[in-house]
Structure 1
Amino acid sequence: MFIVDGTLSTDPIVYSSIRTFNTSLTNYQLVPLSASAYDVPAPVSNQLVYTLFGIVDTAGVLRSGPENFNAAAYSV
Protein backbone atom coordinates (compact mmCIF):
# COMPACT_ATOMS: atom_id res chain seq x y z
CA MET A 1 0.00 0.00 0.00
CA PHE A 2 1.09 3.57 -0.47
CA ILE A 3 -0.07 7.12 0.20
CA VAL A 4 0.46 9.90 -2.32
CA ASP A 5 0.34 13.67 -2.06
CA GLY A 6 -2.55 14.10 -4.50
CA THR A 7 -5.13 11.82 -6.11
CA LEU A 8 -3.21 9.83 -8.72
CA SER A 9 -1.03 6.77 -8.17
CA THR A 10 1.73 8.63 -10.04
CA ASP A 11 1.73 11.58 -7.59
CA PRO A 12 4.61 11.88 -5.09
CA ILE A 13 4.63 9.00 -2.58
CA VAL A 14 4.75 10.05 1.09
CA TYR A 15 4.38 6.55 2.58
CA SER A 16 4.71 2.98 1.35
CA SER A 17 4.76 -0.45 2.93
CA ILE A 18 4.16 -4.12 2.25
CA ARG A 19 1.92 -6.12 4.59
CA THR A 20 1.58 -9.88 4.74
CA PHE A 21 -1.59 -11.40 6.14
CA ASN A 22 -2.47 -14.84 7.40
CA THR A 23 -5.12 -15.98 4.89
CA SER A 24 -6.20 -18.85 7.16
CA LEU A 25 -7.66 -16.34 9.63
CA THR A 26 -11.27 -15.46 8.91
CA ASN A 27 -11.56 -12.49 11.25
CA TYR A 28 -10.54 -8.89 10.63
CA GLN A 29 -6.87 -8.02 10.27
CA LEU A 30 -6.10 -4.36 10.91
CA VAL A 31 -3.58 -2.27 9.00
CA PRO A 32 -2.53 0.61 11.24
CA LEU A 33 -0.03 3.09 9.84
CA SER A 34 1.40 6.52 10.48
CA ALA A 35 2.89 8.89 7.91
CA SER A 36 4.17 12.47 7.92
CA ALA A 37 4.86 15.02 5.22
CA TYR A 38 7.12 17.98 5.98
CA ASP A 39 7.68 21.30 4.23
CA VAL A 40 4.61 20.86 2.06
CA PRO A 41 3.93 24.04 0.09
CA ALA A 42 0.44 25.48 0.52
CA PRO A 43 -1.63 24.52 -2.52
CA VAL A 44 -3.48 27.22 -4.47
CA SER A 45 -6.79 25.58 -3.49
CA ASN A 46 -5.82 25.66 0.24
CA GLN A 47 -6.74 21.95 0.42
CA LEU A 48 -4.17 19.25 1.16
CA VAL A 49 -5.18 16.05 -0.63
CA TYR A 50 -3.69 12.65 0.18
CA THR A 51 -4.84 9.30 -1.25
CA LEU A 52 -4.19 5.76 -0.01
CA PHE A 53 -3.79 2.99 -2.59
CA GLY A 54 -3.98 -0.65 -1.57
CA ILE A 55 -3.04 -3.52 -3.86
CA VAL A 56 -4.26 -7.03 -3.10
CA ASP A 57 -3.06 -10.14 -4.91
CA THR A 58 -5.23 -12.70 -3.12
CA ALA A 59 -8.83 -13.57 -3.94
CA GLY A 60 -11.38 -13.25 -1.16
CA VAL A 61 -9.88 -10.20 0.55
CA LEU A 62 -12.49 -7.58 1.40
CA ARG A 63 -12.01 -4.02 2.55
CA SER A 64 -14.10 -3.05 5.51
CA GLY A 65 -13.27 0.64 6.14
CA PRO A 66 -13.76 3.30 7.15
CA GLU A 67 -10.39 4.81 6.43
CA ASN A 68 -9.41 7.88 8.37
CA PHE A 69 -6.82 10.60 7.78
CA ASN A 70 -6.01 13.06 10.53
CA ALA A 71 -3.90 16.10 9.73
CA ALA A 72 -2.35 19.07 11.46
CA ALA A 73 -1.10 21.93 9.30
CA TYR A 74 1.13 24.71 10.63
CA SER A 75 2.52 27.84 9.03
CA VAL A 76 5.27 30.14 10.16
Structure 2
Amino acid sequence: MNVPLPGQHHSRPVPVVDVDPAEIRASVEDVLHLVDELEEAPAEGGDLAVLGKQAALLEQAHQVLVDALDRVDRA
Protein backbone atom coordinates (compact mmCIF):
# COMPACT_ATOMS: atom_id res chain seq x y z
CA MET A 1 0.00 0.00 0.00
CA ASN A 2 1.41 3.39 -1.02
CA VAL A 3 0.87 5.85 1.79
CA PRO A 4 2.38 9.27 1.13
CA LEU A 5 4.85 10.66 3.60
CA PRO A 6 4.08 14.01 5.22
CA GLY A 7 4.27 16.74 2.63
CA GLN A 8 4.15 14.40 -0.37
CA HIS A 9 0.45 14.89 -0.92
CA HIS A 10 0.97 18.52 -1.95
CA SER A 11 1.02 19.06 -5.69
CA ARG A 12 3.09 22.21 -5.51
CA PRO A 13 6.86 22.17 -4.98
CA VAL A 14 8.24 23.00 -1.58
CA PRO A 15 9.49 26.60 -1.64
CA VAL A 16 13.15 27.33 -1.12
CA VAL A 17 13.76 29.52 1.91
CA ASP A 18 16.53 32.09 1.55
CA VAL A 19 17.36 32.14 5.26
CA ASP A 20 20.76 30.85 6.29
CA PRO A 21 20.66 30.00 10.00
CA ALA A 22 24.43 30.41 10.29
CA GLU A 23 24.22 33.91 8.81
CA ILE A 24 21.39 34.87 11.16
CA ARG A 25 23.26 33.47 14.16
CA ALA A 26 26.42 35.36 13.17
CA SER A 27 24.50 38.62 12.80
CA VAL A 28 22.88 38.27 16.21
CA GLU A 29 26.17 37.22 17.83
CA ASP A 30 27.88 40.30 16.35
CA VAL A 31 25.27 42.57 17.88
CA LEU A 32 25.41 40.76 21.23
CA HIS A 33 29.19 41.16 21.20
CA LEU A 34 28.69 44.92 20.90
CA VAL A 35 26.31 44.80 23.88
CA ASP A 36 29.00 43.02 25.91
CA GLU A 37 31.63 45.57 24.85
CA LEU A 38 29.43 48.40 26.12
CA GLU A 39 29.15 46.64 29.47
CA GLU A 40 32.93 46.32 29.77
CA ALA A 41 33.81 49.83 28.56
CA PRO A 42 33.92 52.85 30.84
CA ALA A 43 30.48 54.45 30.96
CA GLU A 44 30.39 57.57 28.80
CA GLY A 45 27.41 59.60 29.90
CA GLY A 46 26.56 57.33 32.81
CA ASP A 47 24.99 53.95 33.27
CA LEU A 48 21.65 55.03 31.81
CA ALA A 49 23.31 56.06 28.56
CA VAL A 50 24.99 52.66 28.31
CA LEU A 51 21.73 50.93 29.12
CA GLY A 52 19.99 52.90 26.36
CA LYS A 53 22.66 51.91 23.84
CA GLN A 54 22.40 48.26 24.91
CA ALA A 55 18.63 48.38 24.56
CA ALA A 56 18.95 49.77 21.03
CA LEU A 57 21.39 47.01 20.11
CA LEU A 58 19.10 44.34 21.55
CA GLU A 59 16.23 45.76 19.51
CA GLN A 60 18.47 45.47 16.44
CA ALA A 61 19.21 41.79 17.21
CA HIS A 62 15.50 41.19 17.74
CA GLN A 63 14.73 42.76 14.36
CA VAL A 64 17.23 40.44 12.66
CA LEU A 65 15.35 37.47 14.12
CA VAL A 66 11.93 38.89 13.23
CA ASP A 67 13.02 39.54 9.64
CA ALA A 68 14.34 35.98 9.34
CA LEU A 69 11.06 34.54 10.64
CA ASP A 70 9.13 36.76 8.25
CA ARG A 71 11.13 35.43 5.28
CA VAL A 72 10.46 31.86 6.42
CA ASP A 73 6.73 32.55 6.77
CA ARG A 74 6.59 34.02 3.25
CA ALA A 75 8.14 30.93 1.70
Q: TM-score, normalised by structure 2?
A: 0.23
Q: TM (normalized to structure 1)?
A: 0.23
Larger RCO (alpha carbons 8 Å, 6+ apart): 2
Give the structure with higher Rg (CA): 2
Comparing both structures, which one devotes a greater share of its residues to helix?
Answer: 2
